Amino acid sequence: MRSADITESSNTEPEVSLQRGLRSLKELTAVLSMAVEVLSTAQRNNVADGVDFYGEVQSFEIALIQRALRETNGNQAKAARLLGLKQTTLHGKIKQYDIYPSFLMYGGDQVAREESLQSMQ
């Protein structure tokens, strides 16, 4: 192996590591941004009056999944990576919560979709 080959390979390894680190940082930033957005728009409940914990968790999950799908233009594999979930877990939640990724790709949201479906009935 020539010394130029060694220098070349040692320069690309740090670059690849740096690119992976930057990609991970971007994904983490996107997830945190989504969480902040979801939390800031979440309905504020008075805990003294009682809270439907599971309902709140469900609302949070739906909003987070919708945001991830919007960020990835409906690409479930990318959305799963962004959320740190397995694709099968995300797909199960999409089915469970009746979320339509293709609808979200075009800027819609679940509330608008439900309203439009109700008006058609």
Count structural domains, the chain. 1
The tens-digit pLDDT sequence of the chain (121 residues) is 454 444 455 568 888 888 888 888 887 787 777 677 666 665 566 677 788 889 888 988 998 999 899 888 899 999 999 999 999 999 999 999 999 887 766 555 445 445 444 444 4
Give pTM, 2 decimals. 0.57
pLDDT reported for residue 71:
87
Q: Residue 12: give the domain boundaries.
A: 3-120
* List of E strands, 52-110: none
> For 107, phi and psi rounded to 5 degrees?
90, 5
SS3 57: helix
